[in-house]
Amino acid sequence: MTKDKYESPLTSRYGSSKIVALFSPAKRYSIWRELWLNLAIAEKELGIAGITDESIEEMKAHLNLTSEDFNAAAEEEEKRRHDVMAHVHAFGLVAPKAAGIIHLGATSCYVTDNGDLIILKQGLNLLLEKLAIVIDRFSKFANKYKDLPTLGFTHFQPAQLTTVGKRATLWIQELLWDLRNLTRARDDIGFRGVKGTTGTQASFLALFEGDHDKVEALDKRVTELSGFSEAYPVTGQTYSRKIDVDILNAISSFGATSHKIATDLRLLANLKEIEEPFEKDQIGSSAMAYKRNPMRCERVCSLARHLMVLAQDALMTNSVQWFERTLDDSANRRISLPEAFITSDIVLTLLQNISEGFVVYPKVIERHIAQELPFMATENVIMAMVKKEGDRQQCHEEIRVLSQEAAKKVKEEGGENDLIDRIKKAEYFKPIRDELESLMDPTTFIGRAPQQVDKFLKDYVEPALKPYSEILQVVKEATIKV
């Protein structure tokens, strides 16, 4: 095997077989042939002469391209410099009885744009299935750790306690919004249909000798045969590139979600509270043998940044589509659209792998809580003293002084937080000395976090995943390796 040509790592290193195959030349040109078949079937049904049952059957028999088909198309494109006409020629060679009616009345965008819309819709279906699996895995994690107290962080500074499971619901909620956005983008995809060279259907009107009803019937019938419920009512030569904007915006938004999740996990790995999977023989560093680098999460962040910027391609391309169309969209879309889907698929695979192998270290989490909880418990201490008829303002001053002394010991001397011991020894706090241990119970600081997790999973996650129950059942016990 020679390695003297650049290969995209998206396909050669990371991409899964399904999504890579969807954007392959074999799939693309097979869809073109299906579209030519659908057009011929509809035109025959509507009375166009010269389209025989034999020609239709020949087309049906050669929807999948062989290596000879690709060679024939490549030779023709070399001469004609036109990929669509090259494939019309190659199709006609294997379906000679249909050669004279293939592409009848159509423009190139009949196959290129309608084909793209089919691929984009199928691609979103694949992403949605994988996203549902990721949400399911994260939800199981949230449920398992819904009661485990952990330090909350605001500004990446210790804050009031939450739970490990509750924090995971923040990730899941954004993933649910991505599920919604990708679903909307998929469901909003229409069909370009048979609209002719500039969208006026002039060629088809001529084909049907001025019969407007038959032109409309053709558009509707080809749309149905191609698996769409409706076609866009008006187009130029292409479908509006704003459709690409809607799709890539939803995909790029998922990129932002995945980057945030992976970043949180990288920070937690630094704290040694939660780690991504780390295999028995995995090497974290070529020099520092002890390291357990969060390389999966780092890869998610790396790819997610690429994903987020691809929306700009669609926005800028849409903005410069002059009048009925220009061709400066073509090369860009050949890169940005497949890369958006393949990159999303890779990120989803990584997130699934990470979520299926989370390693949680409760003892480390407990130690971090113990280091900070005495400061957080001061309000509880004040309330307890007030209940014993203490003066709130005096109590605040007493505990403020002790807190500053404890903070100095931690920050300047590198010692442990001994605030509670200082409170125990202080004569002022003698009335509540026996209550201090209970006032320091972490489970009393997590509010309704466990109940919020239960309600969120039941009321929001379960309904969202219901349409994917079949695929979730198939992968229920399976795990994915990257």
> Mind telling me the catalytic residues?
155, 285
Q: Of 320, 317, 315, 310, nearest to 331 (Cα)? A: 317
Taking the alpha carbons of 266, 271, 276, 281 in that order, is the dihedral positive or negative? Answer: positive
Q: Phi/psi zone of residue 148: left (φ > 0), alpha (ψ -120 to 50 degrees), beta?
A: beta
Beta carbons of 338 and 23 less than 8 angstroms apart: yes
Which DSSP letter does residue 191 get? B
* Strand, helix or coil for residue 73: helix
- In angstroms, the CA 162 to CA 447 distance is 8
- In angstroms, the CA 143 to CA 1 distance is 48
Beta carbons of 251 and 340 less than 8 angstroms apart: yes
Cβ burial, residue 147 (10 Å; 0-12/13-18/19+)? middle
Cβ burial, residue 24 (10 Å; 0-12/13-18/19+)? middle
- In angstroms, the CA 134 to CA 142 distance is 12
Q: Which amino acid is located at 245 in the chain?
A: V
Return the structure tokens found at 471. 């695929």
Helix axes 25-45, 53-61, angle to 10 degrees: 170
- In angstroms, the CA 31 to CA 191 distance is 14
Which DSSP letter does residue 66 get? P
Q: Which amino acid is located at 201 in the chain?
A: Q
DSSP H or E stretch at residue 87: helix 83-94
Beta carbons of 275 and 351 less than 8 angstroms apart: no
Q: Of 116, 105, 102, 97, nearest to 29 (Cα)? A: 116
- CA of residue 402 relative to chain centroid, distance: 49
